[in-house]
Structure 1
Amino acid sequence: MRPLSIPGAWLHTPAVYPDPRGTFHELYRAEVFSRATGNRFELAQANVSVSRRGVLRGIHYAEVPPGQAKYVACLRGAVFDVTVDLRTGSPSYGRCEAVRLDATNRRTLYLAEGLGHAFLALEDHTTVMYLCSEGYEPEREHGIHPLDPQLAIDWPRDVPFLMSDKDAAAPTLREADRAGTLPSLAACLAYSVSPAERNC
């Protein structure tokens, strides 16, 4: 596992073992995860989405506490996956970082509480699995518009976007900040069990 440029975001590239039957790899191992990140991940809910090419989901986040940490894997197809630091007071506030997750590289992405998540499906039938540290609670869920000019995410331009009505109507980062719906870095670090994150 290696940290991304946004504290609290980690990318895991597994060893994949092929043989004549197919392949095998470890999607997640608690001791390896904890040793690398200094954190622990407690599974509360597992979700799977299937998307056609061009589906753009996010940017989603949950109120902190308790927030919702996510461990994301692309099981079929490919996604342009984006992490956004939405924590007010963070040195990397508003920073975005994109990685490709697909069924070939088998990489997974971990996002701590307070980070926003979005992805663009690059192929039909793209299947993404999210392991979540907290269950879904609609009243605590929020979104930021994925095409917010302030964030300037460099989405692939050769894919036509298809968003839900909710995501298309989401506020900009500036609007969400003014409305007071963004998590603060202080709240995230007070809630986090990660010493590494507390030192960011």
Structure 2
Amino acid sequence: MPFLKTAIEGLLLFEPRLFEDERGYFYESFNQKEFFEATGIDLPFVQDNHSLSKFGVIRGLHFQKPPFQQAKLIKVIRGEIFDVAVDIRPDSPTYGKWLGFVLSAENKKQLYIPRGFAHGFVVLSDWAEVLYKCDNYYAPQAEGGIIYNDKTLQIDWRVEKKDIIVSPKDCLLPTFQDI
């Protein structure tokens, strides 16, 4: 399982090995032993989440407050998204920095986001189905978030403003400065 380091410590991009022939393809989307050997990260993933969203939908930027933080392993099984992770670890040299990656059913890339990040994505295709593993259970009392159009972060969501769809709840999220 080839994991590629990114410009933010702990944030990893995974490009699985695909075995293709005239019948189709096969790949391991997750193997705990290889994950640990490649990254040194030994997490018990305890919850899988699955979402379906249409073009222009932004989900996020979400996080769980301590002690309910979640590490995530994100993949797309239909369509294409631009996936964003924002470093909100106060002692990190990249605090307040974000990176985004195109994840799609076609490229099969997955993004590992460690604890201490806000996460969100926008759908670039007509529809997208996103699956992600979490290493901690969702705790509604620990919900946190950052408004998607935060002026400090200046995330380029790659979708025209007129096409962006955000839930009423996510429109009320605080700014990065206010978290």
What range is the shorter-chain TM-score in?
A: over 0.9
**TM-score, scaled relative to structure 2:** 0.94
Q: Which residue of structure 2 lines up, in the alignment, with residue 168 of structure 1?
A: 171
**Paired residue type of 1:22:** G
Identity of aligned residues (%): 38
Q: Which residue of 2 aligns with 1:195?
A: none
**1:99-148 deviation digits (Å, cap 9, x = unpaired):** 10001110111111111111000112200001111111111111101110
Match of 1:181 in 2: none
- CA distance in 2: counterparts of 1:5 and 1:80, whole angstroms: 17
Counterpart residue number, 1:44: 46
Distance 2:88 2:107 in 1: 28
CA distance in 1 between counterparts of 2:134 and 2:159 reads 30
Tell me the amino acid that sits aligned with residue 20 of structure 1: E
Specify the SS of the correspondent of 1:117.
strand
CA positional deviation for 1:155: 1.5
Paired with 2:118 and 2:34, the residues of 1 have a C-alpha distance of 24
Q: Please tell me the residue identity of whatever aligns with 2:31.
A: R
Letter of the 1:45 counterpart: Q
Q: What TM-score do you get using the length of structure 1 for normalisation?
A: 0.84
Q: Which whole-Å CA distance do the structure 2 matches of 1:75 and 1:148 have between them? A: 29
Structure 2 residue aligned with 1:135:
137
Contact 2:76 2:130 in 1 (8 A): yes
Is 1:94–1:151's contact at 8 Å kept on the other side of the alignment? yes
Q: What is the aligned length?
A: 176
Per-residue deviation, 1:17? 1.5
Higher share of residues assigned strand: 2
Q: Deviations over 1:8-36 (max 9, x none)?
A: 21110011122222211111111221122
Give runs of ≥4 in structure 1 deviating > 4 Å.
none
Q: Which of 78, 81, 93 is the aligned partner of 2:80? A: 78
After superposition, what is the alpha-carbon deviation per residue over 1:47-75, rounded to whole angstroms, capped at 9, x for unaligned? 10000000000011111224111110011
Q: Is the 8 A contact 2:80 2:125 kept in 1?
A: yes
Decide whether the 8 Å contact of 2:56 with 2:159 is kept in 1: no
Q: After alignment, is 159-168 or 113-122 more displaced?
A: 159-168
CA distance in structure 1 between the partners assigned to 2:171 and 2:36 by the alignment? 36
The alignment yields a C-alpha RMSD, in angstroms, of 1.2
Partner of 2:24: 22
TM superposition shift of 1:88: 1.3
Counting only pairs closer than 5 Å after superposition, residues 185-200 of structure 1 correspond to structure 2 as none
Which residue of 2 is the match for residue 150 of structure 1? 152
- The range that moved more, 77-86 or 60-69, is 60-69
Separation in 2, partners of 1:65, 1:90: 18
Q: Which blocks of at least 5 consecutive residues in structure 2 are unaligned?
A: none
Post-superposition shift, 1:157? 3.4
Provide the rounded CA distance (Å) in 2 between the counterparts of 1:105 and 1:135: 28
In 2, the alpha carbon distance for the partners of 1:91 and 1:23 equals: 40
More helix by proportion, 1 or 2? Answer: 1
Return 5+ residue gaps in structure 1 as ranges: 177-200
